[in-house]
Amino acid sequence: MNARELFDRYFGQCPLVAIIRGVTPEDAAGIGRALFDGGIRIVEVPLNSPEPFASIERIAAELGEDALIGAGTVLDPADVQRVKAAGGRIVVSPNSNPDVIRATVAAGMVSSPGIFTPSEAFAALDAGAHALKLFPAEAASPKVVKSIRAVLPKDVPLLVVGGVTPDTVGAWMGAGANGFGLGGGLYKPGQSADETLEKARAYVEAASRR
């Protein structure tokens, strides 16, 4: 299974990516399990979290092949191999650094860089990106998604990230978004597993109404 097929396997089950910024290794497995039980199948631990590689390792051990685990806020190509060594299989970035994208592709992992313009989108695809995330979506609108979607290859997944709530999911998807990255609306540091499960279920239900 190549990296794109790997992404499609989990994204096809649920078009949401959980961004658990600030999670600690002590809480990681429990939060990962809550997200999975809530229906989410892709989880990223941003590298500006406490001991992120330890958290990735614990979530990957907890969920195994049932979920796609990896890192977010990956800015340095050197970190790609560290993510892989921890059991991560997806690398997400807020920007479109071609060196990070190429390193991810070379490692056989899923690359999902951040873009905000068509130029950035096509540069990321030229470097080998498998999925694109529109970030920060707070500065965009469904009309922007519609315009970008019109020129992107139809098979390229476009995720909206930033300020997404269960109430706004429908408008974004109606404009052509394929899915979402969920940050503070889904998880905040110190949040309990029970609350995480409840929020995950609300987002998954909203996405299923598309």
Q: Is 133 a catalytic residue?
A: yes
Residues whose CB falls within 8 Å of the CB of residue 53, separated by 6 or more in sequence, listed in order: 71, 82, 83, 85, 86
Domain ranges of the chain: 3-208
Residues 6+ apart with CB under 8 A from 64: none
Report the candidate in 33, 27, 48 with the shortest Cα–Cα distance to residue 183. 48
Amino acid at position 3, single letter: A
The string of DSSP codes covering 27-41 is HHHHHHHHHHHTT--
When pLDDT is averaged across residues 114-125 and rounded to a whole number, the result is 98
Residues 6 or more apart from 195 whose CB is under 8 A from it? none
| 3-208 belongs to CATH 3.40.50.12280 | no
pTM to 2 decimal places: 0.97
- Give me the residues paired with residue 17 across strands: 42, 181
Facing residues of 71 across strands? 45, 91
Shortest CA distance to 36 belongs to which of 12, 6, 14, 3?
14
- Cα–Cα distances (Å) from 63 to 29, 68, 134, 165, in that order, read 8, 9, 27, 26
State pLDDT tens for residues 139-190.
999 999 999 999 999 999 999 999 999 999 999 999 999 999 999 999 999 9
Residue pointed to by tokens 């020129």: 151
Q: Catalytic pick from 44, 57, 84, 199?
A: 44
Q: What is the pLDDT of residue 209?
A: 81
Of these residues, 5, 133, 154, 199, which one is catalytic?
133
Does position 210 have pLDDT exceeding 80, yes or no?
no
Each residue of 25-34: pLDDT tens digit? Answer: 999 999 999 9
Is 195 among the residues known to form the active site?
no
Query: What does the mean pLDDT of the chain come to?
Result: 97
Residue % of the chain over a pLDDT of 70: 100
Residue type, 27: D
Burial readout 64-78 (b: 16 or more C-beta within 10 A, e: otherwise): eeebbbbbbbbeebe
Question: Which whole number is the average pLDDT over 123-139?
Answer: 97
Residue 13 has pLDDT above 70, yes or no: yes
Residue 63 pLDDT > 90: yes
Side chain identity, residue 21? R
